[in-house]
A = this chain, B = another copy of it.
Amino acid sequence: MTYTIQDIAKLAGVSRSTVSRVLTGSPKVSPEAREAVQRAIKETGYRLNSHARSLASGRNEAVAVLVTQPGEELFDDPTIRGLFRGVNAGLGDLEEALLVLLAGNEQEQRRAVRFLDKRRIDGAIYLSPHLNDPILPTVLDTDVPIVVCGYLPGIRLGSTLRTVTITDKEGAISAVAHLQACGANRIAHVAGPEDTPGSALRLVGYQEALGEDFDPDLVVHGDYTQASGKAAMQELLDRGAPFDAVFCASDRMAAGVYQVTNEKGIRVPEDLQVIGFDGHLLGRKLEPPLTTVAQPIEVIGQQAVEMLIDMINGTDPGHREFPTKLIVRGSTRSVAD
């Protein structure tokens, strides 16, 4: 037997409305009525039908995190893990359910789009967009509120789309400045994927900070993973252009650089200064500990939900941007030296 609000009403000796009121937590219920209803609910094991509620109320009580990274990459990415922690924190004690919508391959994407279209969530958080992400047009076009964690340059954003970002460019500039202050003369850059705006901005910052000294030979693109960082470092070495410092667009790529320096006996920071980007725990465990441009990743996640909830409630949270922060550890020579 599956009970309805009607049954509870009868059992508690009140009307359906009153039951509904205690269900929705309305304050306009007498203590006695409330208790009678709650007892009836407990006795029967009644559970509310959320479709009926959603149909009547127009709310879904669910938000989703749309994950477009292919599984392989996603599951390895500490940034995404941090984001999730933040999202959880931001959700706090809200009734809102949190769904993860995988959209890493075509099949998943079709499913995810269908889910969006069916309006089964009140809003979504879209993680670190790639500009060529096949699902992006749909996301831009949908009328469900979406908070994007990352930049969408050159795209006109409708009222249902807000971004939360970090100062990628300034972060890159601070990295280069630090290296220069530490005596580096030729600074290489292991950049991120070419189609992610954040990575592009870091490259721009790097280039701007270097000005005249910019040398395209010292730039190699990776995809944020450790393996790609290792490959990039090898490529830099192979090219033969000398350099005494590397600015990596992710901590994981910096870890890849370390693999090569270890193999080749290149000393960090004596022979080569290295700086990462992210501020993940992993950088602290490297030997030497990695100097890095930290981004407040959990804060981003937390802000993303809060902004989303705002949008769902009809208030515009605007776009938000957070500063990065240089964390100096052992992979760069202390400025004081």
Residue numbers in B under 8 Å from A62 (CB-CB):
115, 120
A98 in contact with B102 (CB, 8 Å): yes
Which of B60, B100, B117 touches A47 (beta carbons < 8 Å)? B117
Q: Does A267 contact B (CB under 8 A)?
A: no
Q: Does A71 contact B (CB under 8 A)?
A: yes
| Copies of this protein, total | 2
* A48 vs B120: C-alpha distance when bound (angstroms): 11
From A75-83, A167-175, A314-322, give the one contacting chain B. Answer: A75-83
From A32-40, A106-114, A257-265, A302-310, give the one contacting chain B. Answer: A106-114
Report the nearest B residue to A64, measured CB to CB. B99
Query: What are the interface flags for A181-199 relative to B under an 8 Å C-beta threshold, 1 for contact and 0 otherwise?
Result: 0000000000000000000
- Among A87-142, those with CB < 8 Å from B are 88, 91, 95, 97-102, 105, 107-108, 111, 114-115, 117-120
Interface size on A, residues (CB 8 A): 39
* A235 vs B61: C-alpha distance when bound (angstroms): 49
From A51-59, A217-225, A242-250, A290-298, give the one contacting chain B. Answer: A51-59
Q: A51-B51, A120-B50 are in contact. Are A84 and B98 (CB under 8 A)?
A: no
Q: Does A74 contact B (CB under 8 A)?
A: yes
A71 in contact with B47 (CB, 8 Å): no
A47 in contact with B118 (CB, 8 Å): yes
14 pairs, CB–CB < 8 Å, chain A vs chain B: A48-B118, A49-B119, A51-B52, A51-B54, A51-B120, A55-B55, A62-B120, A75-B75, A76-B76, A84-B102, A88-B107, A91-B111, A97-B118, A99-B99
